[in-house]
Amino acid sequence: MKPYETGRKRKIKKEVRLTPAEWEAVKERMKACKSCSFSDYSRKMLINGYVVVVDDSEELKALIYEINRIGNNINQIAHVANSCGSVSSDTIKVVTDLMANIWQYARYYLSDTPS
């Protein structure tokens, strides 16, 4: 084992050969994915078959906000259920409505985001 590899987490090394045109295509895809290195990009593509690019758009911020709201409501409901032993149907309706809202945001965001 080479000295620089002793502290590495990933010890298996694989090599790939590309034509200049293939390399240019890979570089363009890496740039579009905002991938920092060929190693990161290729590992994600080999393992997952795709690379997820998350932008910092207003839609994403709204989605995260809604998820946080639902999480807070679920925590409050769990607290009530643990202290009282039951939860009202109105409370469950509120959470169900919030979940519908979050799915609406998610569908909108995922359908409008280029892959």
Of 41, 16, 13, nearest to 27 by C-alpha is 41
Q: Sign (positive/negative) of CA torsion 12, 13, 16, 22?
A: positive
**92 shares a domain with 67:** yes
**78 shares a domain with 44:** no
* pLDDT per residue rounded down to tens, the chain (115 residues): 565 656 788 888 899 999 999 999 999 888 888 767 888 889 888 888 877 776 667 877 887 888 888 888 888 888 888 888 787 888 878 878 888 887 887 777 766 554 4
Q: Are 59 and 108 in contact (CB under 8 A)?
A: yes
**108 shares a domain with 95:** yes
Asked if residue 81 is part of any domain, the answer here is yes
For tokens 């909108």, the residue is 108
**84 shares a domain with 63:** yes
Domain count, the chain: 2
pTM of the model: 0.44
**94 shares a domain with 70:** yes
- Structural domain containing residue 98: 58-112
Q: What is the DSSP code string of 42-95?
A: HHHHHHHSS-------HHHHHHHHHHHHHHHHHHHHHHHHHHHS---HHHHHHH
